[in-house]
């Protein structure tokens, strides 16, 4: 009896190929559900005006002081992006930023768009360094430490990461607040006291807004706990797609079908497509083109080679740390941060050997610095979304203020990490 040859796909048995594809898709399912859910939360905040609850709370706490409002936005963005992607953080804050921008315009201050926008960008970037799961670059770091067999890597844990990251986040939040809330504030805005723009003669949220805020907190809480659980208990990773899928089904029911006392659901299908962030998606497309073009031209490899040659020159250890951080920050303005860190881990590892330095602090500093590209609209997806969806933002101000914070951040990160990391990891 003649044997029927196995079907193959690119030299691999079809059954094996489809099994691998299915496994890969299943592994990525939680991330896909997170981004889809993040967009629905963004629409929920807009449709129900649930952002008014945050705005009113921030106005009460800050007493309408624009500088304190900027601080609240940076802090909120940093807290969220420690556990969820920066782009989702900015997407959920966009309705708040637009609402505050409208309030400022109504009271005669038309140049607050840029400070509001960059405050969300700064906070989202800073929060990524707070946890081991805050940015993909940290995952690349852990792999690079193992591949290069860096001494001390086994002492890095999810919890002792906080020993040095939380103080660093506080320092960076202060620097970001000074940049956006002091240097970036338009003339006369500092003396303004923003009054509450209340709806229906009341500053208290109505029932739909409360439900919207509740679902927002439910969404954020689940994904933060899911990220923590994956980091602390690796054995549950296999169950993550199932848990995330079940949660997403429940969340969809709460959004589109849940009725309270006969009221209509919080979202209707038309609400999903009526507010697509077109300008933000346009800038995201531009971001992809910039990254792709830079990679095709070999700019990433060229930059890594120049950096390797420069860091091999005789210099003190603190200068090696500062220049490494500074190079990574500014390269991330035009290149993907994961591409930059993948190349720079080898660069700083070689530089550490050339200068008889411990490579562990240098490699951690490179990973942390890659989240802090604050200058250009095409540096990160969160930058592109924020700049694209706030058309009144001024590019020149964003570039100047971002360059200042980039340099200030390099000083803060290199000084703090150079001091604390040897103490924490020996």
Q: What is the pLDDT of residues 81-94, one digit of tens each?
A: 877 778 878 887 88
Q: Is the pLDDT of residue 4 over 60?
A: no
When mean pLDDT is compared across 8-12, 137-141, 188-192, 345-349, the lowest value belongs to: 8-12
> What is the rounded CA–CA span in Å between residue 107 and residue 307?
49
pLDDT, tens digit, 9 for 90 and up, residues 296-339: 666 556 655 665 666 666 788 889 899 989 988 998 887 777 77
- Look at residue 411 in the predicted model and tell me its pLDDT: 96
| Domains: count for the chain | 1
Flag whether 226 is in a domain.
no
Flag whether 184 is in a domain.
yes
CA atoms within 13 A on the CB side of 184: 33
Q: Is the pLDDT of residue 36 over 90?
A: no
Q: H/E element holding 19?
A: helix 14-48
Q: Is the pLDDT of residue 169 over 70?
A: yes
Three-state SS sequence of 50-109: CHHHHHHHHHHHHCCCHHHHHHHHHHHHHHHHCCCCHHHHHHHHHHHHHHHHHHHHHCCC
Q: What is the mean pLDDT of the chain?
A: 79
Flag whether 236 is in a domain.
no
Answer yes or no: pTM beyond 0.85. Answer: no
221 falls in which pLDDT band (50, 70, 90)? confident
pLDDT, tens digit, 9 for 90 and up, residues 231-283: 678 777 788 888 889 999 999 999 888 887 777 888 888 877 775 555 545 65
Flag whether 10 is in a domain.
no
Place of tokens 């997403």: 248
SS3 assignment, position 13: strand
Flag whether 12 is in a domain.
no
In 3-state terms, the chain is what percent helix, strand and coil (to 5)? 75, 0, 25
When mean pLDDT is compared across 39-43, 271-275, 276-280, 384-388, the lowest value belongs to: 276-280
Assigned token pair, 411: 């000083």
> What is the rounded CA–CA span in Å between residue 301 and residue 47?
46
Place of tokens 């086994």: 154
Flag whether 40 is in a domain.
no
Q: What is the mean predicted confidence (pLDDT) over 381-409?
A: 90
Q: Determine the structural domain holding residue 346 and report its residue range.
A: 51-204+277-425
22 falls in which pLDDT band (50, 70, 90)? low
Flag whether 115 is in a domain.
yes
> What is the rounded CA–CA span in Å between residue 92 and residue 213?
12
Q: Is the pLDDT of residue 119 over 50?
A: yes
Contacts of 133 (CB under 8 A, 6+ apart): 83, 139, 227, 228, 230, 231
Q: Is the pLDDT of residue 7 over 60?
A: no
CA atoms within 13 A on the CB side of 39: 16
When mean pLDDT is compared across 121-125, 181-185, 222-226, 420-424, the lowest value belongs to: 222-226
Flag whether 45 is in a domain.
no
């Amino acid at each position: 009896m003649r044997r029927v040859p196995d079907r193959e796909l690119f030299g691999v048995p079809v059954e094996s190929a489809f099994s691998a594809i299915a496994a890969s898709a299943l592994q990525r399912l939680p991330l896909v559900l997170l981004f889809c859910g993040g967009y629905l939360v963004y629409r929920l905040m807009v449709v129900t005006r649930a952002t008014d609850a945050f705005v009113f709370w921030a106005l009460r706490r800050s007493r309408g002081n624009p500088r304190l409002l900027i601080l609240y936005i940076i802090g909120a963005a940093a807290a969220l992006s420690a556990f969820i992607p920066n782009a989702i953080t900015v997407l959920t804050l966009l309705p708040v930023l637009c609402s505050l921008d409208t309030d400022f315009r109504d009271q005669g201050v038309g140049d607050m768009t840029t400070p509001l926008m960059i405050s969300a960008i700064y906070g989202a970037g800073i929060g990524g360094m707070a946890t081991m799961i805050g940015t993909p670059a940290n995952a690349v770091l852990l792999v690079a430490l193992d591949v290069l067999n860096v001494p001390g890597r086994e002492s890095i844990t999810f919890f002792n990461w906080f020993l040095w990251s939380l103080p660093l986040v506080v320092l960076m939040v202060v620097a970001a607040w000074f940049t956006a809330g002091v240097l970036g504030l338009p003339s006369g805005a500092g003396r303004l006291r923003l009054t509450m723009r209340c709806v229906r003669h009341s500053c208290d949220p109505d029932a739909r807004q409360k439900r919207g805020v509740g679902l927002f907190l439910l969404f954020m809480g689940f994904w933060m706990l899911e990220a923590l659980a994956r980091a602390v208990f690796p054995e549950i990773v296999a169950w993550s797609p199932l848990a995330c899928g079940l949660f997403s089904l429940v969340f969809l029911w709460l959004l589109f079908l849940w009725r309270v006392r006969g009221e209509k659901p919080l979202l209707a299908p038309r609400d999903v497509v009526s507010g697509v962030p077109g300008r933000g998606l346009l800038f995201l497309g531009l971001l992809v083109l910039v990254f792709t073009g830079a990679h095709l031209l070999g700019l990433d490899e060229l930059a890594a080679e120049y950096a390797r040659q420069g860091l091999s020159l005789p210099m003190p250890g603190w200068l090696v740390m500062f220049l490494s951080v500074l190079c990574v920050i500014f390269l991330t303005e035009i290149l993907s941060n994961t591409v930059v860190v993948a190349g720079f881990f080898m660069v700083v590892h070689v530089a550490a050997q050339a200068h008889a330095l411990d490579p562990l602090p240098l490699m951690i500093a490179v990973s942390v610095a890659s989240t802090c590209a604050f200058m250009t609209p095409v540096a990160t997806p969160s930058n592109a979304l924020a700049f694209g969806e706030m058309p009144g933002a001024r590019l020149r101000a964003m570039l100047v203020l971002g360059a200042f914070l980039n340099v200030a951040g390099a000083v803060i990160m290199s000084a703090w990490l150079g001091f604390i990391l040897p103490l924490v990891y020996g």
